[in-house]
Amino acid sequence: MATTKPDIAALVDQMPETDKEIAAKQKPDPDKPEPPDRKRRPDNYGGASKFTGPDPETANKIFAEILAGGKESILELIALLRDPSDADFKNYKAGYVLHGLALSVGGAGKERQRRLFAETLAAQLGSDKLSKAVKGFLIRELQVAGGQEAVGSLGRYLLDEELGEYAVQALLAIREGAAPQVRKALATAKGTHRSALVQALGVLRDSESVAVLKKALGDEGREVRLAAAWALANLGDASSADALLKSADAAEGWERVQQTKACLVLAEKLLAAGKKSEAVRIYRHLQDTRTDSSEQHVRDVALRALQSAR
């Protein structure tokens, strides 16, 4: 621990100003013409990036000093975060430093610091004092530096209208311990949340989610059904073949095309896993049932796969 408590506000202030702020302080030179592309860009772009990064050595010293201050210093830094739309917003420096810390604690030999950082951010998600915008920022940093210690806190935001997408992405980055949180949220999810959560289970390839995903094939929402078909195919679970084929056979139009595609993906995965008989059964079914002229390509794919599987 640091022998002297670091001055977080002063450390944050050492970050460089944005290019736009620097430009605003410079008096225009009447003899120097404006760059020809400046007027063609939107006003909110300003022809400049938000930051010219600090010297890496200087930045690393600042990050190390803040981390040496422990949880209290991280909390002070979080307290400086502001939504850009807030009246008291000054600049992006606090957010820049927090992101730098998230990257820094991911380095080799820093697991203790990473865990402290993630635990502190995760705990603050429950604070009533922080705006949704600031909580969104914290969740995005947990996507960078979070681990299993943060999944419980992130899970509570999976159904939040504003923060749900961020929470899903953070859990997918963490992976360990994420699937139970997603399954729990899916039980009561509606609308776009349902399709996002179903797809997340497919990305996680969680074998314990097979039953939940099979049930989702019968969901009233088309996007949910399609996400479930893709998820089951991505899992490569042989027991899903009958449910997938039945769902694809009953579908119409574009949904039939997409669900049939999922059946083909499952067959490919089964064949690659050495489950030849299961894969062959899927290909034969598709060859026998996709009789419309618009589905000739499916029969062709199935035929080539059957020939190569001999």
Does any domain span residue 219? Answer: no
* Token digits of residue 237: 């679970």
Q: How large is the average pLDDT for residues 171-176?
A: 98
pTM of the predicted model as reported, rounded to 2 decimal places: 0.85
Q: How large is the average pLDDT for residues 271-280?
A: 96
Does any domain span residue 27? Answer: no
Q: List the domain range (segments joined by +) for residue 95.
A: 1-16+53-174
Q: Are 83 and 92 in contact (CB under 8 A)?
A: no
Does any domain span residue 213? Answer: no
Residue whose C-alpha is closest to residue 204's, from 185, 178, 241: 178
Kindly tell me the sign of the dihedral angle through the C-alpha atoms of 57, 58, 59, 65: positive
Give alpha helix (H) positions in 53-191: 56-68, 70-79, 93-104, 111-124, 132-145, 151-155, 164-174, 178-186
* Token digits of residue 17: 């100003």
* Token digits of residue 165: 């997408």
Q: Are 247 and 265 in contact (CB under 8 A)?
A: no
Does any domain span residue 233? Answer: no
**pLDDT digit string (tens) for 50-85?**
556 778 898 999 999 999 999 999 999 999 999 888
Distance CA(141)–CA(135), nearest Å, equals 10
* Share above pLDDT 90 across residues of the chain, in percent, rounded to a whole number: 79
Helix (H, G, I), strand (E, B) or coil at 247: helix
Give the CATH number of the domain where residue 12 resides.
1.25.40
**pLDDT digit string (tens) for 8-33?**
999 999 988 765 555 556 566 666 66
Does any domain span residue 254? Answer: no
Reported confidence tier of residue 40, pLDDT bands at 50, 70, 90: very low
Does any domain span residue 38? Answer: no
Q: What is the pLDDT of residue 28?
A: 60
- Residue that has been written with the tokens 């605003």 in this structure: 24
Reported confidence tier of residue 309, pLDDT bands at 50, 70, 90: confident
The structural domain count of the chain equals: 1
Does any domain span residue 95? Answer: yes
